[in-house]
Amino acid sequence: CGANEQDMHLRGVNWDRDVQGYVAVDIRNVCEGDPSPSGAGRLRIARGIEVGHIFQLGRKYSSALKALVLDEAGKEVTVFMGCYGIGVTRVVAAAIEQNHDERGIIWPEPLAPFQVVLLSLGAQKSAAVREAADRLYATLTGAGIEVLYDDRD
């Protein structure tokens, strides 16, 4: 605890025991354009989504599991554990939120399941349409392009 004096701090303070009448409150929320905490710019308010996380588990579980390794001196030490996760469905949801229009999803190329979707509309009634679609499919796949060819009737 600071003692309101430069270079002077109180030791052994128990907040609940030693400090009465203290109330912690948020005096105000940050606003667009406020100075950044580092002072290097201004705050911009934007929506976000958590797509991954890291939990530092310490030695709690590794101690229980007796998970040991040898340190530099050859002495056994308990490992320090971490837990990492990525929300695959959240990544997809975030991509869709950022890449869509009134007609639907516009997949970013790294996430798109295919580069091209080929529909042979009317192919069941027209040999010319079917043959043209087959040629186009062969040309695209021959060029290394990933194609989903929907040739259903």
Give the span between the Cα atoms of 125 and 68, in whole angstroms. 70
Domains in the chain: ranges and CATH: 2-112 (no CATH), 113-153 (3.40.50.800)
Give the span between the Cα atoms of 145 and 142, in whole angstroms. 7
3-state SS, residue 7: coil
**Hunting for tokens 């308990």 — which residue is that?**
78
Query: What string of DSSP letters covers 16-47?
Result: HHH--S----------TTPBPTTSSSB-----
Dihedral sign, Cα of residue 58, residue 63, residue 64, residue 65: positive
- Residue 59: per-residue pLDDT: 94
Give the span between the Cα atoms of 152 and 118, in whole angstroms. 11
- Residue 139: per-residue pLDDT: 98
pLDDT along the chain (153 residues), means of 10: 70 82 84 94 91 92 96 96 92 92 93 92 88 96 96 79
- Residue 1: per-residue pLDDT: 60
